[in-house]
Structure 1
Amino acid sequence: MFLHGTSRINAEGHLEIGGCDVTELAKEFGTPLYIVDEALVRQRAREFMEAFRKTGLRHQVAYASKAFCTMAMCRLTEEEGLSLDVVSDGELYTALQAGFPAERIHFHGNNKTPDEILMALDANIGCFVVDNFIEMQLLNTLASDKGKRVNVLLRITPGVEAHTHEYISTGQQDSKFGFDLGNGTAFRAVEQALAQSNLKLLGVHSHIGSQIFEVEGFRMAVEKVAAFAIEVRAKLGETFSVINLGGGFGIRYVEGDTPLPVGTYVQAIADAMISTCLEADYPLPEIWIEPGRSMVGDAGTTLYTVGTSKHIPGVRKYIAVNGGMTDNPRPALYGSKYEAVLANRANEAPTEVVSVAGKACESGDMLIWDLNVPEVRSGDLLAVFSTGAYNYAMASNYNRIRRPAVVFVKDGKADLVVARESFDDIIGNDMIPERLRKQAVSK
């Protein structure tokens, strides 16, 4: 059994996270329950910051809030000195309501609406990551209307695609994001951005993939993006002050996942940037990165209660939990794999293999196939690990199932940061037209 962060098995044989016995958390907050190991999140943030400090490069580490966005998470991010990426007005509103400094907010997205842009302009956010020509013109016009000049990065697709151990040097042209580097679109975007009087071009942004376990893809991206910066300087006389290399740093979900230490990724990026710039006598830009999953993924655990079971002799045994694809759609969407343990009997030896089904009315609502566990009983608590990223963020009310609560645990204390949805929350936005209302029965 692999335990992340502060997780351990206590003397009672129960899983403990952040000094909190999860069986007690289940009694206090109910299940399903998202549990976030606050100390591990802070540790990851500090690892990124310290790794960059060691390189001596100017830098910004921006937490990609799409992975897990709550007001408490925005506060934690601010306390650790990170910047923040948002991709919608909802994420922006959450950050602003949490008191996150607007000047450290970066706004991403391939289809920002006029209302979203206006909201960000009014908040005086630090930077827009411009994704296409239509957005560029719209942003310039709206900024002009407000008498503002705003910082922008241009998102480019550098022709490097990286996922886990696979790297494709000619890939990523077919993407909904960004200006393509290979066909000259990115260069034209720079020309047009420089011509906009209300845009201040800082540099470029790129993102090459997710769950990356090696450094070669980042090296390739640095070389391509830096070569583009050098070309822009030579042809247009413009020197980029910022190069943003995105995120994609991997985490451990299951045995066989082999993420590198944070410092290894950062040092590889720094070394590639320094050597490329020195060779071309190019001023070292400020480096920005955007960890999301790698900040919160393995700090999250989802706690369920086992309900029913079904044994098909010679085929498999299903156990059903009181959550599923509504709180974790990733297995249904991507075939994602997870590890889990019976949290109330965590020191007992496995005696059977089960498959974990969710409660949604969908045959595809399966969380884990073929999990080794002690003989499972109704009422047992199942803890699924590494659910901190894209679980709460992608949760839904399918079947009108209420979304779970979220707690931060640290030093033996559990703080509720998102309340469990109520039945009133479920119908809170519903309306019944007058014609469908029950008419009083006349007597």
Structure 2
Amino acid sequence: MRFYDPLRRPQDGCEPASGEERMTSAIESGLLPGTSETRPEGLAVGGVLLTELARRFGTPLFVYDEEHLRRRCRDAVAAFGRDNVAYASKAFLCTAMARLAHEEGLLLDVASGGELRVALHAGVPADRIVLHGNNKDAAELRTAMSARVRHVVVDSFDEMDRIERLHAEEHLPPARIQLRVAPGVAAGAHEAIRTGGNDSKFGFGLAGGTAAAAVRRAAGSPAMILEGVHAHVGSQVLDTAELAAGAAAVARFAADTRMDRLTVGGGLGVAYEAGQTPPSFAEWAARVRTAVRDAGWGSSVTVEPGRSIAARAGLTLYRVGTIKRIEGVRTYIGVDGGMSDNLRPALYGSRYEVFLPRSPRAPRPMRARLVGKHCESGDVIVDDAALPADVAVDDLLATPVTGAYGYAMASNYNKLPRPAVVFVRDGRARIVVRRETEEDLLRLDVDEPAGFPEPTRTVGTGAGAAQRAGTA
């Protein structure tokens, strides 16, 4: 089985444009949000100029094409059916996004108590929410069971123990569950996002009979209502054959154990660079349906797309602060964000493109390393960026296809406030997540009185006791 790896030469018709092509061509329209249009003043998304958004809301800034998000949700529902698509909110979640996905007929797939809180706050009914996670604690399970979420995807026997204690001791209603299984098929663009293999922290393995034992345990428990099985083989998959192989493996198990429902996860990839052509939802659906039918599964299938809904809908705006040319080495272009708003290049070696919103159709003959402002040499956004030759300090830059796992993975490293998030549609822009302030960075700190308390003295003998007492 072959995988798309952003650090290697792509395969199966998903090959990005060559370096020479990237040096001479404008940014591809297929990497931009769906409502993008080039005007004399520059690129507009959702009827609003990107330069105007940067002026109004500052940078770094996440910009989402709301119409693009809605179209992707509708495409997924058209391919799989209204009750068979759950938005994988880990890709990007805020109150507005949860409401949008719900309005477009999607279930919400949440992977923590915090994501569950956002979905409920957004007004998503609990019976339209699915709770994931490989190590759910009692508080998360208590909230899910009390709210009566659609189902909990159970990942371990320890989790079953916690569900049974909550049911018995706190008299919570039985949890509707699906069992996550590891089908022995791993796919994805990077080892860190391949989740379905035998060596995985996720799920009950089909190999060795662990999954079958989990079925017996859940079916015999008064605390659980076993509805089906779930599997997810990986992320950023550009070959639907890999997704189909994982679906077939879990479908055989579901058919053999006479389950009512089957969920095959998400994982559909997107184009991040010129020349890549990802599959459509319709192509994914056709391939998966054929695979599960051939495996003996005769009912519908649920999927959980996240990246393939949110990624291309979003882009990030930065302001150039420095241009440093090192003769005979390279040129560095430093912007006002970095790994705190896009961790994927440092974490996965992920690759992006970049352009100037003021001239999106301009050739890009200049090569530079686009870097952030963090105190890390690895703080690289685009390692070998193609840019117009006239890029200058104070220019506005944009990296497209950052709508998934950009803001979701954002941090306050070096105490940088996280960017704002803006939705644009029909010529209007609205902030859906405000920019953090420096005051926000202090809100969790607990101030101690001046001076330090006396060290706690420990009674005992020997050097260790003396060190603990602060006397050695």
- Post-superposition CA distance 1:291-335 (Å, at most 9, x none): 010110111100000011110111111110000001111111111
**CA, structure 1 residues 150+185, in 2 after alignment: closer, same or farther (shift >3 Å)?**
same
Equivalent residue for 1:139, pick from 147, 153, 163: 163
Q: Which has the higher strand share?
A: 1
Is residue 343 from structure 1 mapped to residue 357 from structure 2 by the alignment?
A: yes
SS of aligned partner of 1:340: coil
> Residues 310-325 of structure 1 correspond to what in structure 2 (within 5 A)?
310-325=324-339
- Post-superposition CA distance 1:338-376 (Å, at most 9, x none): 011011232333342111110011111111122221222
For residue 171 of structure 1, report the CA deviation from its aligned partner.
Answer: 7.3
Is residue 38 from structure 1 mapped to residue 63 from structure 2 by the alignment?
A: no
Contact 2:195 2:233 in 1 (8 A): no
Contact 1:59 1:287 in 2 (8 A): no
**Counterpart-to-counterpart distance in 2, 1:141 and 1:432:** 39
Contact 1:206 1:245 in 2 (8 A): yes
**Counterpart-to-counterpart distance in 2, 1:30 and 1:408:** 14
The residue number in structure 1 matching 2:250 is: 225
SS of aligned partner of 2:79: helix
SS of aligned partner of 1:220: helix
What letter is aligned with 1:409? Answer: V
SS of aligned partner of 2:207: coil
Equivalent residue for 2:147, pick from 95, 105, 123: 123
- Post-superposition CA distance 1:235-287 (Å, at most 9, x none): xxxx211100000001011124321111000111112223433xxxx6x3331
Is residue 102 from structure 1 mapped to residue 126 from structure 2 by the alignment?
A: yes
Is residue 304 from structure 1 mapped to residue 318 from structure 2 by the alignment?
A: yes
Q: Which moved more, 1:149-158 or 1:215-224?
A: 215-224
The residue number in structure 2 matching 1:423 is: 438
The residue number in structure 2 matching 1:83 is: 107
**CA, structure 1 residues 408+170, in 2 after alignment: closer, same or farther (shift >3 Å)?**
closer
**Counterpart-to-counterpart distance in 2, 1:170 and 1:399:** 31
- Post-superposition CA distance 1:372-421 (Å, at most 9, x none): 21222111000000000111010000111010000001111111000000
The residue number in structure 2 matching 1:236 is: none
- Post-superposition CA distance 1:87-126 (Å, at most 9, x none): 1111011111111111111110011011111111222211
Contact 2:252 2:292 in 1 (8 A): no
The residue number in structure 2 matching 1:440 is: none
| TM-score of the aligned structures, taking structure 2 as reference length | 0.86
Equivalent residue for 1:434, pick from 449, 459, 462: 449
**Counterpart-to-counterpart distance in 1, 2:199 and 2:314:** 33
The residue number in structure 1 matching 2:52 is: 24
**Counterpart-to-counterpart distance in 1, 2:240 and 2:58:** 41
The residue number in structure 2 matching 1:211 is: 236
For residue 222 of structure 1, report the CA deviation from its aligned partner.
Answer: 2.7
What letter is aligned with 1:195? Answer: G
The residue number in structure 1 matching 2:214 is: 189
**CA, structure 1 residues 171+201, in 2 after alignment: closer, same or farther (shift >3 Å)?**
closer
Contact 2:195 2:202 in 1 (8 A): no
The residue number in structure 2 matching 1:404 is: 419
**CA, structure 1 residues 170+355, in 2 after alignment: closer, same or farther (shift >3 Å)?**
closer
Task: List runs of 5+ in structure 1 lacking aligned partners.
Answer: 233-238, 438-443
Is residue 2 from structure 1 mapped to residue 28 from structure 2 by the alignment?
A: yes
**Counterpart-to-counterpart distance in 1, 2:410 and 2:195:** 34
For residue 219 of structure 1, report the CA deviation from its aligned partner.
Answer: 2.4
Contact 2:80 2:301 in 1 (8 A): no
What letter is aligned with 2:261? Answer: V
**Identical-residue share of aligned pairs (%):** 46
- Post-superposition CA distance 1:188-235 (Å, at most 9, x none): 000101111121101100001111112212222232212212332xxx
**Counterpart-to-counterpart distance in 1, 2:190 and 2:329:** 33
SS of aligned partner of 1:287: coil
Q: Which moved more, 1:216-225 or 1:311-320?
A: 216-225
Extract structure 1 runs of 4+ deviating beyond 4 A: none
**Counterpart-to-counterpart distance in 2, 1:394 and 1:267:** 32
Is residue 111 from structure 1 mapped to residue 135 from structure 2 by the alignment?
A: yes
SS of aligned partner of 2:229: strand
**Counterpart-to-counterpart distance in 1, 2:254 and 2:365:** 59
**Counterpart-to-counterpart distance in 2, 1:246 and 1:177:** 12
The residue number in structure 2 matching 1:50 is: 78
Contact 1:161 1:172 in 2 (8 A): yes
- Post-superposition CA distance 1:148-195 (Å, at most 9, x none): 1221000000011122599xx997111001000011100000010111
**Counterpart-to-counterpart distance in 2, 1:174 and 1:358:** 35
- The size of the alignment, in residue pairs, is 419
For residue 432 of structure 1, report the CA deviation from its aligned partner.
Answer: 1.4
**Counterpart-to-counterpart distance in 2, 1:314 and 1:261:** 44
RMSD (Å) for aligned C-alpha atoms = 1.9
